[in-house]
């Protein structure tokens, strides 16, 4: 699991390689990732948008931006949490993702909340120790 806290919002991510949806011979590798967003602070926030930077093992980077997550813009009151699962395909057996959520506090203040960098590792990658 990967976790980070920004502006009293904790984001935890758990990636899972999806063997049954992947086809290594065709260079198609698929992951699911479960995200838990927790409001540890004292004010209500709404998740307005997301930004992802996805880098494959060949160094190619794709950026994804959009409103909300999984079609929602959840409101998190103090102590609330929100969980969702999404997916990511790659043409290489490994990669990494990192990003941020744009959140609006009840005061109107805009908060950029970090999504921790996490690795996408399949059993089809070569592992090398540095």
Query: Tens of pLDDT along 30-72?
Result: 999 999 999 999 999 999 999 999 999 999 999 999 999 999 9
Q: Would 33 be classed as within a structural domain?
A: yes
Burial class, 72, CB count within 10 angstroms (exposed 0-12 / middle 13-18 / buried 19+): exposed
Which domain does 116 fall in, by range?
2-121
By CB atoms closer than 10 A (0-12, 13-18, 19+), residue 45 is buried
In a domain, 127, yes or no: no
The residues with which 34 forms a beta bridge, in sequence order, are 14, 85
User: Does the residue 23 lie in any domain?
Assistant: yes
Strand partners of residue 101: 50, 113
Residue 95 lies in a domain: yes
Q: Where does the pLDDT of residue 73 fall: very low under 50, low under 70, confident under 90, or very high at 90 and above? A: very high
Query: Quick check: is 126 in a domain?
Result: no
Residue 55 lies in a domain: yes
Residue 107 lies in a domain: yes
| CATH, residue 28 | 2.60.40.1470
Q: Is the dihedral of CA 44, 46, 113, 70 positive or negative?
A: positive
Q: Contact 118/56 with Cβ under 8 angstroms?
A: no
**How many domains in the chain?**
1
Q: What is the predicted pLDDT for the residue at 126?
A: 64
Q: Is the pTM of this model over 0.85?
A: yes
Q: Which residues of 3-40 are buried (b: 16+ CB within 10 A; e: fewer)?
A: eeebbebbbbbebebeeeebeeeeeebbbebebebbbe
Residue 130 lies in a domain: no
């Amino acid at each position: 699991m990967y976790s980070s806290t920004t502006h009293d919002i904790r984001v935890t991510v758990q990636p899972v390689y999806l063997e049954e949806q992947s086809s290594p011979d065709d260079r198609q590798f698929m992951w699911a990732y479960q995200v838990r967003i927790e409001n540890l602070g004292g004010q209500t926030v709404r998740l307005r948008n997301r930004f992802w930077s996805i880098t494959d093992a060949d160094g190619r980077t794709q950026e994804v931006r959009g409103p909300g997550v999984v079609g929602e813009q959840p409101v998190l009151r103090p102590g609330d949490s929100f969980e969702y699962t999404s997916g990511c395909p790659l043409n290489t057996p490994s990669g990494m993702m990192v990003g941020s959520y744009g959140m609006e506090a009840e005061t109107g203040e805009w908060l950029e909340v970090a999504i921790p960098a996490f690795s996408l590792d399949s059993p089809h990658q070569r592992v090398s120790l540095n």
